[in-house]
Amino acid sequence: MAAEIKGHCLCGQVTYEAEGEPAMQVFCHCKDCQRASGSVGTFNLGVPVPAFSVTGDSLSSFETIGEDRGTPATRRFCSNCGSPIAVTLPEFPDLVFIKAGTLEDTSWLAPQLEIWGCSAQPWMRQAEGVDRLERGPSAATPS
């Protein structure tokens, strides 16, 4: 994996970079991630807040209260093309969760954990060798 993580939205108006290794690579099955992605969930990279920088005039944010979690999430996205870029959660104040589908290079991705398995689509198979938690992790979850 590269020491620098780079990515962008679908239209390219929002770009980001993050330095260093991700603290965690997590696939989330929660209802909010399903709705925000229009799919079965999202694959997220947790990176330290100070290592993350994002630019673009069309960057917007929207706060939701998690249907599964019950706590707020600030979701950042491109208001031009609608691509989700990142999310911040009060449970993890030191991390930004980058939406892995927006990465320039995804060849090194490997989920370490699946969360909110209680909301997973019944036909969605668990990743081989990866634990699936029924609920979300705590800030003490190892990376």
Domain spans in the chain, listed from the N-terminal domain onward: 4-132
| pLDDT at position 53 | 97
d(CA 115, CA 93): 18
pLDDT tens-place string over residues 72-83:
999 999 999 999
Pair 95, 7: CB distance under 8 Å: no
| pLDDT at position 75 | 96
Tell me: pLDDT of 142 over 90.
no
Q: What is the CATH number of domain 4-132?
A: 2.170.150.70
Burial of 39 (0-12, 13-18, 19+ CB in 10 A): exposed
Give residue 44's Cα distance to chain centre.
Answer: 3
pLDDT tens-place string over residues 2-38:
457 999 999 999 999 999 999 999 999 999 999 989 9
Burial of 51 (0-12, 13-18, 19+ CB in 10 A): middle
What secondary structure letter does DSSP report for 57? T
pLDDT tens-place string over residues 85-137:
999 999 899 999 999 999 999 999 999 999 999 999 999 999 889 988 888 77
